[in-house]
Amino acid sequence: MKKKKSQDKQIIGWREYVHFPEWGVRNVRAKVDTGARTSSLHVDDIVLLKNNRIRFYVVLCGRDPLKRKKVVARRLRKGRVRSSTGAKTERWYVKAKVSLGDVQRDIVINLIDRGGMNFRMLLGRTAIDDSFLVDVDRSFLLGKKRKVVCR
């Protein structure tokens, strides 16, 4: 695949809203993290199912953990991830279709409890590398959240 030139890439902020159309999940506030290779999503209650499937709940609201959406997806693998603090954890990986503004693509996401973090999702560089440039001084360039439920 041919890489886009810088002038052809869309500019995004250091934080953006991400949507998962196939899961029926919208407005996940994500921190764009160019230091992270893969993306991470805050989920609860991971359960392995038959036929290489995995069930989990996407936490929709950081202030209300009961607001969540059940998702069943095909699990890709389990892998070790080193956090920003240097701690290594094992996490499950799934593939998901995400929408960032007008761009839709399949990305690989690892599932983790990010309950103590400010953002329910980290958007890693493999999710943004060939279509976006990050303006670290700006936020939510791809659109505002439609309905304010919580942060």
Tens of pLDDT, residue by residue over 83-105, are 767 788 899 999 999 999 889 99
- Confirm if 87 and 73 have CB atoms less than 8 A apart: no
The alpha-helical segments, DSSP class H, found in the chain are 125-128
Terminal CA-to-CA distance of the chain, rounded, Å? 37
- pLDDT: which is higher, 45 or 5: 45
The CATH number of domain 22-135 is 2.40.70.10: yes
Tell me, what's the pLDDT at 113? 82
Range of weakest confidence among 7-11, 33-37, 64-68: 64-68
Tell me, what's the pLDDT at 147? 55
Tell me, what's the pLDDT at 85? 74
- Is the pLDDT at 114 greater than 80? The verdict is no
Residue 36, classified by CB atoms within 10 Å of its CB into exposed (0-12), middle (13-18) or buried (19+), is: buried
- Give the pTM: 0.85
Tens digit of each residue's pLDDT (9 = 90 or more) over 48-72: 999 999 999 998 876 666 788 999 9
102, HSE (Cβ side, Cα atoms, 13 Å): 3
Mean pLDDT of the chain: 87
Share of the chain above pLDDT 70, in %: 87
